[in-house]
Each structure stands twice: as structure tokens, then as C-alpha cells.
Amino acid sequence: MITSSMSRGVLLVGTGVILVQALIQALLPGIPAQAHLSVVLWLTAGAVMLSARWHTPRPRLPFVALAAGLASAAAGYGIEAWVVPDRGPTGILGPVLVGLHLVTGACYLVAITIVVALRRPRGGHDGLIDAAAIVLAALLLGWQFGAAPGAGGSAGLSVPLVGSGSALGAVGSGSALGAVGSGSALGAVGSVSALVALAMCAVTWRLAFRAGEAAPVLLRLVAASALFAVGAGAQMLLSLDGALELIVDAARRGPGVLIASAVLHPAIRILTKREEGSARPVTPWRMLLLGAALLVLPALLVVQAVQFDARSSEVLPLAAGATALTALVLWRLGRLVVERERLRTDLQRREARFRELALYDSLTRLASRYQLMARLEALVAEVPAGAVGGTVAFVDLDAFKPVNDRYGHEVGDRVLCTVAERLSALVREGDTVSRLGGDEFILVCRDVATPAEAERLRYRLADALAVPAMLDGVEVPLSASVGLAMLHGGDDPEALIQRADTAMYEEKSAQRRGGGGIPTVAQAPS
């Protein structure tokens, strides 16, 4: 079984191998740097396949795609190192190298796309589409500044770079995914791969923020993508020689070691588990990135117009129109996003309000009938069959209608709130006080488990509600009838409330006959 310690060991050993290779490269400059990189990538591809075998992830396709990409890159670097080290690719070798490196980029994209699709929340297709749009825009930029044919059939734009006079799409040999030869289509692949690496780095880093236990794996992949992009950029933009060349070559081998350490970490299994939760809302940053991606095409038209002066009169109007149209569409989409967020916020507020109305009485803030029944069902399920689990008290105010008729409904509502406060003050934590409606209340007292305790509860309730309510200097008389029912395991909640209701009406009838109430508690029918 592979452990996290072994994964760290692979990282340390791999770093040592890179340092040894750098020493060999310094002492034996006849061995091309691509040969060292090819060895590292072959070893990394083997580590990925071992991980797929030992960790048995489901699905294995991301691992297979990653291994295939690494093997394709290793093969390309090997050909560069030993077949075309001096004269450059000739004949069929040029297209073969281009094909190998394009396969590498495609395999990497397949692997990261599957991981993103698995890690996104269910139904979160929007995020995947947004990521695809941003990566596609990066590829278009890379193609334009790297591989697109320019005037006279040369590759790339004739834009001076860092005083070297070289073209942006024709810089350096061996950059990123193995670009060979200044001005060739293969040399342009480096800029494309660097942009793809940066996009992969951004996507992977975004995943790392919500990775949980998989964070060590994803952070290694982030470091690999960033190091890969730095190496590609240095190859394209800098004039490398001596120690700087050794450092850049070592940095280009670093991603292989980081990937090997990541895939051998036990937490790699988590990457193929779908993330739970709902899709995330559209943020201003996401809209900004999408807007930038959408503006890529008109921007490239402008670049074409600047590059080809002969066609400026044809391209500039088209570029201006495309830019204006894109800006209008973005403005409209931005307004739609704002409206969507407003509607979503309003919907959440309404849902919270409906949930509150379902759980609580709007006047007294006591538990609603829905919440009462849910708590009764849970309590009945907890108590063993036949055992006593508490007492249900049904409280009905006496002569409440005359209060409304004499003082008005506003005073009547205040009286109901006063009653709710008094009842809540009599119960313990964990008990339930609910208003059924009108002047009827229900109490569920878990610790009142004997008829004697139930009777004491009934007298406390009656005494608390016999005190008149003082409202703005007006004394409003109060009294209440209380019916009790013992709660047993297996009782039906509706039948339990009905028994307490029946006991309450029996007490009210006894009071009307002058009997002063009946000191009995309703029991479950045998």
C-alpha cells in the first residue's frame, strides 16, 4: 500500500535525480537536455500507471490519459535528443514531432477535464462550460502568436521581441512541448502549451481551494503546472546560456517529479469522487474572465489588421464591428447576471420566509402545527412501545371571544402573545410549546411521566393563565381549561392530540357545571 510518506520520498528522490542530471549536463554537454527530460517523463508515465494499478481509482481514464500524454511527450523529446539534435526536423519527422506534442496537450486536457467534471457539484455544467471557453480563448491566442501563418508564409507575427528581432511565434528551440527550430510550426507549439499550462494551473488551483483531503495532491499538480509554464516562458522569452540554461532545464524536468509524487499519494483516489453540493453562483471574476475570452476574437482581428496593412481597410471595420457587438453582448449578459442574482436572492428570501411560516406561528413565534407534529412523531419513535415518554397538554382560553369583541383584535393579539410568553416560561429546555390556531395551545413536556406530575403541570398552567393581563393600564381577565394526555411509545400523534383535546373539553364542561374540573389524565386506549 502506497502511503503519504512514500509519496514524499518519491518527491525527494526525484529532486535528487534532477540535480544529478543537471550535474551530468554540466560535465557532459554532449548529452542533449531533451534526453534527460525524456527519461524523467518516461519514469513519470510509469508512476502514473502504477498509481492506477495500486489505488484502483474509478474511473481510470484520467490516469490513462495523463500517462499517454507523458509517454507522447517523452517520445517527442527522445526524438529531438537523438534523431534531430543538430539539423532540426526534416522530412516526416517535423509533422511527427508536432503530432506527438499536440497529442500530449490533448491528453493533458482530457485528464484535467475529467477531473474537473468529477469534482464539480452535480448539475454544475456552467462551470465546466466556462472553463472550456477560457481554455479555448487561450488556445486561440497561442495559435495566433505561435503557429498561425503570417505574411509571406512565415510562422507567427513579425513583432520584435526583447530587442532580439525574433518573432513571438518563432523563439527558441525545445520550448515547452518540444518546439524545435526558429520560425517552424513546431517552434510555435511552445507558446500554445505554455498558455494551456497556465489555464490548467488556474483550474487546478481553483479545485485545490475545495479539495479537502485531496489538497496535497492538487497543490503538487498546481506546482507542476506553474513550473511547466515558467519553463516554457523562459525558453521563449530569454536568451539561455550557461548556468541559467541548466536551471531552466532542471525546472522543465520538475513537473514530472511533482506529478509522480502526486499520483502516488493515497489522496489521489479523492480526485475521482464527485463533490457534493450545489452549483456555485456566477461571480464577477468569472464574468470578467468570460468577457476577456469573448474579446479574444475581435482583438485578434485587430492584430491581423495591424499586421497586414494591405487589408486594413477590410479588416478594421470588421474588427471594430465585432468589438462593438461583443461589448454590447457582454453588457447584456452582465445585466442578465445581475438580474439573475437579484432573482436568486429574492427567491432565497422567500424560501426562508416560507420555511419560517411553516415552522413558527407568525403572531406568537411559537412552534407551528407542522413543527409540533414533526416533534411528536420523533418523540413517539424514540420511546419504547408502551412506555411513557411525557405528557401532552391542550390549553384553551376561556371566553376569549368577548375579549376580542370588547377590546378589539389588536388587544386580543397582544393577549395571545402574553399567554405564549407565560406558557414558554413554564416548560423546560427540550419541551415544545405550539399554537394550533385561535386561542388553542399545545405543550409537549418530556419529563412529565406520571399522572401525579401531569396533574401538577395542569394546575401550574391553570394558575399561570388565571392572572389578568395588564395592557396599557387595562386589566384583561384570563382563564383557561387544560386537558392532559400521557404520551406512550407507538402512539399516533393525531390521536394523542385528540385525547388531550377531549380531556380539555371534559374539564371545561365540568367547570360549567360547577364541578371545578376533573383531576384525571387521559390515557391511551387499551
Which domains, from first to last, does the chain contain?
Answer: 1-119+126-147+184-272+284-346 (no CATH), 369-514 (3.30.70.270)
Per-residue confidence (pLDDT) for residue 485, from 0 to 100: 93
Q: How far is Cα of residue 260 from the mean position of the Cα atoms in its chain?
A: 26
Burial (CB count <10 Å: 0-12, 13-18, 19+), residue 118: middle
**Quick one: which H or E segment has residue 237?**
helix 215-237
Q: Is 87 helix (H, G, I), strand (E, B) or coil?
A: coil
Identify whether the C-beta of residue 447 lies closer than 8 Å to the C-beta of residue 390.
yes
d(CA 252, CA 234): 10
The pTM score is 0.46
Q: Which helix (H) or strand (E) holds 475?
A: strand 474-476
Closest CA relative to residue 454, chosen from 408, 523, 401, 406: 523
Q: Contact 220/258 with Cβ under 8 angstroms?
A: yes
Q: Which residues pair with 484 in a beta bridge?
A: 393
Beta bridge partners of 489: 385
CA distance 348 to 350: 5
Spatial separation of the C-alpha atoms in residues 455 and 459, rounded to whole Å: 6
Beta strands at 474-476 and 440-445: parallel, antiparallel or unpaired: unpaired
Query: In which element (H, E) is residue 67 found?
Result: helix 61-82
Helix (H) or strand (E) holding 378: helix 369-382
- What are 471's strand-pairing partners? 474
Residue 237's alpha-carbon distances to 22, 154, 418, in angstroms, are: 22, 19, 79
**Contact at 8 Å (CB) between 320 and 296?**
no
DSSP tag of 141: H
Q: How many CB atoms lie within 10 A of CB 493?
A: 19
Whole-Å CA distances, 221 to 1, 57, 392: 22, 17, 61
Q: What is the pLDDT of residues 179-209, one digit of tens each?
A: 333 334 444 455 455 555 555 555 555 554 5
pLDDT for 366 equals 93
Cα–Cα distance, 214 to 220 (Å, whole number): 10
Q: Which residues of the chain have pLDDT under 70?
A: 1-3, 57, 84-91, 116-136, 138-212, 232-233, 235-240, 271-286, 302, 304-323, 325, 329, 332, 514-526
pLDDT of residue 84: 64
Do the beta carbons of residue 281 and residue 69 sit within 8 Å?
Answer: no
Q: Is 478 helix (H, G, I), strand (E, B) or coil?
A: coil
Residues 6+ apart with CB under 8 A from 250: 18, 19, 21, 22
Q: Which three cell numbers stand for residue 67?
A: 500517462
